[in-house]
Amino acid sequence: MYTRRMIRFRTILLMLVLSLPLSGFAQDVTRPAFADLQQRHAAPLLLDVRTPAEYGDGHIAGALNVPVDEVAARHGVLGVPRDREVVVYCKSGKRAARARDTLQSLGYTNVHLLEGSVDAWRADGRPLVRERPSP
């Protein structure tokens, strides 16, 4: 039988554990917060991990396109220190999460997902740029 003291201890311990980021990952960056950073010209590196065709059909201004399957091999093209803030997005978030995991395994320490990825960005009525990525 648990005493009140044990129950309080377990409750406090649970609260502490729940307040920590899951698996060491930082929280997603909200779309409004990212749009605000863009307007202040303080935006982190924005990485679009969709295919070049998807990127060409509409991407967030300033995004660098490196398809998710190429992130490990091409992470050098990011041209940023491994502690620089990087925000990753794709269509819905699944590929972005894979890319975040890959970047973190390569030593990037400040990688975030754009909340809702480009689907949510588009649903918010935020602007997209249509152009082909450079090789």
Q: Please name which of 72, 37, 63 lies closest in space to residue 118, comparing C-alpha atoms.
A: 63
Q: Which residues pair with 45 in a beta bridge?
A: 86
- The C-alpha angle with vertex 131 and arms to 128 and 135, in degrees rounded to 5, equals 130
What whole-number distance in Å separates Cα of residue 70 and Cα of residue 82?
17
The two structure tokens encoding residue 18: 């729940």
CB 116 within 8 A of CB 30: no
Catalytic annotation on 44? Answer: no
Catalytic residue, from 90, 96, 111, 118: name it. 90
Which positions are annotated as active-site residues? 90
